[in-house]
Amino acid sequence: MRVLLILDPLPQIKTYKDTSYAMMVEASARGHEIHVCEQREMWFDGTQVRVTATRLHLQGTGEGAWYRLEEPLAQPLQAFDATLMRKDPPFDLEYLYATMLLERGAAQGARVFNDPRAIRDHNEKLAITEYPQFTAPTLVTRDPLRLRAFVAEHGQAVFKLLDGMGGTSIFQARADDPNLSVIIETMNEFGARSVMAQRYLPEISEGDKRILLIAGEVVPFSLARIPKKGESRGNLAAGGTGRAQPLSARDREIAEALAQPLWSRGLLLVGLDVIGDCLTEINVTSPTCFREIMEQTGCDVAGMFIDALEAVVSR
Ligand SMILES: Nc1ncnc2c1ncn2[C@@H]1O[C@H](COP(=O)(O)OP(=O)(O)O)[C@@H](O)[C@H]1O
Ligand SMILES: [Mg+2]
């Protein structure tokens, strides 16, 4: 296969922990060609969606020295057997336009994962609203009075912006927090911005569990990301420690209920976040944590992923 990965700039990739890198290693070990480009290297030329892509050869593992590039080549998106959109959020307007170009490319015959329309349809925070049976009490509103009433009702709550990631815009507060008004004003901008409030789940001390779904199959181990001391967020990007562990019965119940419906929408790779017994986020843009699970359990997550990609492309 000729596989194209749309990535952030290569120097930003940390080979020792990067999921896209794990995908490249596995694909290349099976003899597939790896090509890369950035989101800005995709365009519409009047008839076709095209990319300026560069063939990449893996070599060594040293940071910065892990790849060798051929000359960039402009070509239509459908010249690749599979395109993996692996650019990290923010999900800004440029990202939105990229999903639209990718969708046009898909209509012209390209195979794009995750499906660009499904990426657009699943805001990573709001997507949980489809599954209220699995979530903690959750409110989404622009009304500051409702946010306040929610904290009063639940005693302690977490506030999230709908486009945050990596723990960047997560606040938690108790009903009697002297900063509560300022937290709400800052996030909600006096009614101008939507905020998600969720009942605080004390089980976060046991980790924010990342559960991976690949083409409708559930990866049998989660990565529990445990907040570092004095920190409320479990995200690895916020200093959390990842501990791989088998799925609990409840983890499996949630994962199995979501796996097939999400795959039927073209979401080849999904990263659920589960705290305690509650689904808190559905990551679809560029889910990670392959490496940590592979290294700690021996479960070949990258192998599962490339198996799935091969199967769907040859179909
Ligand atoms: N309901 C909750 N109760 C306790 N902590 C939470 C809750 N929701 C989120 N958090 C904390 O915030 C972190 C990030 O939350 P998440 O919703 O996954 O957003 P993102 O990962 O996009 O920043 C979690 O790792 C956890 O530490
Ligand atoms: Mg998360």
pLDDT tens digits along 116-140: 999 999 999 999 999 999 999 999 9
Q: For residue 196, which ligand has an atom nearest its CA? A: 1
Question: Is 63 a residue whose pLDDT tops 80?
Answer: no
Atom of ligand 1 nearest to the CA of 235: 25
- pLDDT (tens digit per residue) in 25-55: 999 999 999 999 999 999 999 999 999 999 9
CATH of 203-301, one of 3.60.21.10, 3.30.470.20, 3.40.50.1370, 3.40.50.10260: 3.30.470.20
pTM to 2 decimals?
A: 0.97
* Ligand 2 centroid distance, CA of 165 (Å): 6
CATH of 137-200, one of 3.40.190.10, 1.10.10.410, 3.30.70.1380, 3.30.1490.20: 3.30.1490.20
Residues 232-238 have a mean pLDDT of: 93
CATH of 2-114, one of 3.40.50.20, 1.10.10.10, 1.10.569.10, 2.60.120.330: 3.40.50.20
* Ligand 2 centroid distance, CA of 274 (Å): 9
Phi and psi (nearest 5°) for 50? -125, 160
Please indicate whether residue 287, judged by its CB atom, sits closer than 6 Å to ligand 1: no
pLDDT at 162: 96
Please indicate whether residue 279, judged by its CB atom, sits closer than 6 Å to ligand 1: no
Average per-residue pLDDT in the chain? Answer: 97
Question: Is 64 a residue whose pLDDT tops 70?
Answer: no
